[in-house]
Amino acid sequence: MKIEILFEDNYIIVVNKPNKILIHNSYYARNIKEATLLDLLKEEFQENYYPIHRLDRKTSGVLVLAKQKKYVAVFQKLFNSNSIQKKYLGIVRGFIETPCTIKSPVKHPDTKLYKDAETLCEPILNKQLDIAVHPYQTSRYSLVRLKPATGRMHQLRIHMNKISHPIVGDYKYGDRFHNRMFENELNCDNLFLHAHSIHFEHPLTKEKLDLYADLPLNWLKIFEKFSWQFEF
């Protein structure tokens, strides 16, 4: 699998991570044996890279990696100080008509402690299908833009479930009936959460970076079936 490179300099490499690919091996994904993103990059470029932030295995999109371990902390300071703006796209259950801000604590899986978390959700498009999904005779979906103000694990997935608009394809926090419909009727079984863009000032070169990751093919297939047209 060839990994798309969005940006590269002497310090970092920014890639468009495919969905269903782990960034690296971890305790939480110890049963998954497929090659990780770091494995694929090593195979392609014969280099080791060091993730600066994280994306879930089933989330696709923009990911920043350092070329040397010593640069990780330099870039992580941007995340810790909210100097990096990340924007995601999601397809969720139901119609969302107006922007909303979700402020709800998220529990850390290790410490079990709750930490404050905040997400801005902006509706873009919606679609009603004449396909019955329990308990209704039709099914409704929205394309949304999500802007996390904090970076908790699974934050966006938990927050969308919190407002009863879970992300399609989320088997942990989502709606199994809608997930099953996407599988059986639309032939799509992945999580519809995509890290679409990232914006920050490079801490070493001072270059202002605005980087965008194209949507995966399965997203384009849904856009075609939903007759959605939108310039990102």
User: Could you give the residue numbers annotated as active site?
Assistant: 56
What the block records as the tokens of 50 is 């060091």
Amino acid identity for residue 140 in this structure: R
Select from 60, 58, 57, 56 the least CA-distant residue to 213. 60
Q: What is the rounded distance in angstroms from the CA atom of residue 76 to the CA atom of residue 61?
A: 18
C-alpha of 89 from chain center = 7
Specify the DSSP class assigned to residue 154: T
Q: What is the rounded distance in angstroms from the CA atom of residue 134 to the CA atom of residue 136?
A: 5
The residue to which tokens 């529990």 are assigned: 107
The residue to which tokens 């639309």 are assigned: 186
Q: What is the rounded distance in angstroms from the CA atom of residue 87 to the CA atom of residue 212?
A: 9
